[in-house]
Amino acid sequence: MSAYTQTERTRVRRAHERGSYDKETVHAILDAGFVCHVGFAVEDQTYVIPTLYWREGERVMIHGSTASRMIRVLQAGADACLTVTHVDGLVLARSAFHHSANFRSVVILGKTHTIDDPAEKEHVLKNFVDGLYPGRWDGLRPMLDKEDKATTVLAFDLKEVSAKVRTGGPIDDEEDYALPIWAGTIPLTTTMGEVIPDERLIPGTPQPDYVPNGIPFLNK
């Protein structure tokens, strides 16, 4: 798989060796999550709003209420920045300065475009649901027209994209390794709790296989 073209805006400057433009790396980081933060400016104020996302090939989708300010501002052509972050560990060094975190993150720059075509919109929304819960869409009540109208799907093209990844333990100053100070890494993972069936379930409704105790799609 090829790489995204590095631009002046996506050139990783600090710890640049941790930067990557490799498509496989970017896709893997995107596919391991579902929450992003979208930044955009309205007049003199910058907003960074958390929202759900999913990837389809070379596009990352978000969705929201047609009335949402974020959706309206992005639809109007605002320059935006979408960021995805996974924190994989806390890194404790022998000095405060060298403490760090292990992470995988992606930053996408660009404008969005609206998925207007009804068939395409339904297809990408199905992929969104089925991406989290394989096979769920076909078992759901079909979307109503008013629900379709109330929902906007926007796509960011993966063009101006960078990834940054830190792995491994602390990197201390050489002389500090002689100090009797504990150092190491505390790994962090996202785990799933015990499932809580809805209290208004029809008794006997079977729990689907895609609702196990332990989310298979996290940290994949």
Ligand X SMILES: Cc1cc2nc3c(=O)[nH]c(=O)nc-3n(C[C@H](O)[C@H](O)[C@H](O)COP(=O)(O)OP(=O)(O)OC[C@H]3O[C@@H](n4cnc5c(N)ncnc54)[C@H](O)[C@@H]3O)c2cc1C
Number of residues this chain uses to bind ligand X (CB under 6 A): 12
Residue 36 Cβ vs ligand X, minimum distance, rounded to whole Å:
9
Asked if 6 interacts with ligand X (CB under 6 A), we say no
Q: Which of 14, 43, 50, 116 binds ligand X (CB under 6 A)?
A: 50
| From 1-9, 12-20, 59-67, 100-108, span contacting ligand X (CB under 6 A) | 59-67
Contact 3, 163 (CB under 8 A): no
Phi then psi for residue 141, to 5 deg, are: -60, 135
Contact 75, 112 (CB under 8 A): yes
**Distance, CA of 26 to CA of 17 (rounded, Å):** 15
HSE, side-chain direction, 13 A CA sphere, residue 163: 20
- Token readout for 36 is 């992003």
Contact 123, 59 (CB under 8 A): no
Kind of pairing between the strands at 100-110 and 54-56: unpaired
Asked if 177 interacts with ligand X (CB under 6 A), we say no
| Closer to ligand X by Cβ: residue 15 or 35 | 35
Find the length of the chain: 220
| Closer to ligand X by Cβ: residue 49 or 101 | 49
| Closer to ligand X by Cβ: residue 63 or 94 | 63
| From 25-33, 48-56, 88-96, 196-204, span contacting ligand X (CB under 6 A) | 48-56
Asked if 124 interacts with ligand X (CB under 6 A), we say no
Secondary structure string (H, E, C) spanning 147-215: HHHHEEEEEEECCEEEEEEECCCCCCCHHHHHCCCCCEEEECCCCCCCCCCCCCCCCCCCCCCCCCCCC
Q: Which of 26, 70, 93, 153 binds ligand X (CB under 6 A)?
A: 70
**Distance, CA of 36 to CA of 20 (rounded, Å):** 19
Q: Which of 47, 177, 189, 207 binds ligand X (CB under 6 A)?
A: 47
Residue 80 Cβ vs ligand X, minimum distance, rounded to whole Å:
13
| From 24-32, 47-55, 139-147, 199-207, span contacting ligand X (CB under 6 A) | 47-55
| Closer to ligand X by Cβ: residue 2 or 191 | 191
| Closer to ligand X by Cβ: residue 73 or 93 | 73
- Report the interface residues with ligand X, using CB under 6 A: 35, 47, 49-52, 63-65, 68-70
